[in-house]
Amino acid sequence: MGDDALPVIAEPVSDPDDGGLVDLEPGPVPDDAGPVDLAPPPPVPAPTEAQLRRAVGAVVAASAGDALGAGYVGSGPLGPTAPVTMIASSGEEPGEWSGATELATPVLEVLARGGDVLDSREQDTIVMSWLDVLHGGQPLDPATTAVLRLVSEQLERSPGLPAAQCARRNARRRHERERGPVTSACIVPAAAAALGFLGPEDAPRLTRAVKMLVTTLHGSPEALAPAMLWAHSVRSVILDGPAPLDDSLTHVPGHLRRRWEDHVAEAASASPTLFENDGLAVEAVQVAWAAIVSTANDRGGTHLERALVAAVRAGGDTATTGWVTGALAGAHYGASALPDDWGDLIHGRLGRSGADLARLAKQAVLASHERAVSRLAGLDQAEAEGGEAG
């Protein structure tokens, strides 16, 4: 089994505005001011083998949970001993993942080739890839499908429109018109993005990236809470191993935090079958966390396998919930904790395999490190040139 224990996050992100007044009066300069420290910042540490293993585990286990759950979508809660295996969903093959993994893959592709999802052009690339998924006939959740169809229609009329900006506008307008609940799909691209922000100072950048990705498909500000919670949890587990999910609540927007503290506490002491799982983000988080916590000390198989099976037994939107569970539990245990036959079976519609996702995950982590090093070098150079000009 890989590292032992359970998930979550690290550095807190402060609320953007505190409502106070800024004092613009210059303060006195102390007479004993010491010399300015011109020492270069410490180098960005390269990812360790354990971190690479956990990152690959997050991606591969998420797709395995998706594929496992795909055969049970719409089922009611199953009994505690009901067998859960890689069966075929309607019209698909055993082990074939669903739209959840297809939403995550374009984010990983951008990261793996060294792209930064904070770049608006890369966001356009991701949205265009999602449109390819939609046009290829892959079923996606109704809310995501509705937004992407509007984007597709507008881009047909005006091909030059920025795809991500168009998606955000349509997501916002759709929410203002319908005020529907936040669906679990908002968690998927956010958690995938965590692999691109593993540098020591990258937590605030991940927060911005999650906002950029989530708002392309979800117009409700409340979609940020579950997405931030899970993305920062995955990042923390990849970097440092076990930590309680409660820690990542510091990344939930302040006005939503108390509510999400209650959601997490409730899930930590319940069976996943007690939560309705109708495709909403709150339910996905609670089912996933309850599945991870409630199976920690059970016997049989690995904890990763038991958690995924427990999430699927909860019924409902089992594919997305399986993905969400696998992303966090897999980050802790690594892909080697999956049953061998699952790893051999999982695949996508276009012939992509679990091994392909593993390569994308590893490349995304290594490229993340290279970007962090380059960013540091770029800042150093800019400072040096500014000093010379002065």
Q: Along the chain (390 residues), what's the average pLDDT of each consecutive run of 10 residues?
A: 42 38 41 54 87 98 97 94 90 90 98 97 98 95 96 96 98 95 97 96 96 97 98 97 91 97 97 95 98 93 96 97 98 95 91 96 96 78 39
* Rounded-to-integer distance, Cα 106 and Cα 189, Å: 9
Q: What whole-number distance in Å separates Cα of residue 349 and Cα of residue 132? A: 12
pLDDT at 379: 59
121 lies in some domain: yes
In a domain, 302, yes or no: yes
C-alpha–C-alpha distance, residues 227 and 275, integer Å: 19
pTM of the entire predicted model: 0.87
295: annotated binding-site residue?
A: no
Where do the H-state alpha helices sit in the chain?
A: 49-70, 99-112, 120-135, 142-157, 163-178, 187-193, 203-214, 224-240, 254-268, 281-294, 303-313, 318-333, 340-345, 354-389
Q: Single out the residue of 102, 319, 358, 110 nearest to residue 212, CA to CA.
A: 110
Backbone angles phi, psi at 183, to 5 degrees: -90, 160
Residue 59 structural domain:
54-385
- The predicted pLDDT at position 388 comes to 36
Residue 31 lies inside a defined structural domain of this protein:
no
CA distances to 118, 212, 254 from 208, rounded to whole Å, are: 7, 6, 16
Q: How many domains does the chain have?
A: 1
- Count CB-CB contacts under 10 A for residue 388: 7
Q: Is 124 annotated as a binding residue?
A: no
Integer Cα distance of 32 and 351 in angstroms: 67
The CATH number that applies at residue 91 is 1.10.4080.10
Q: How far is it, in rounded angstroms, from Cα 312 to Cα 110?
A: 30
The rounded distance, in Å, linking the Cα atoms of 190 and 185 is 9
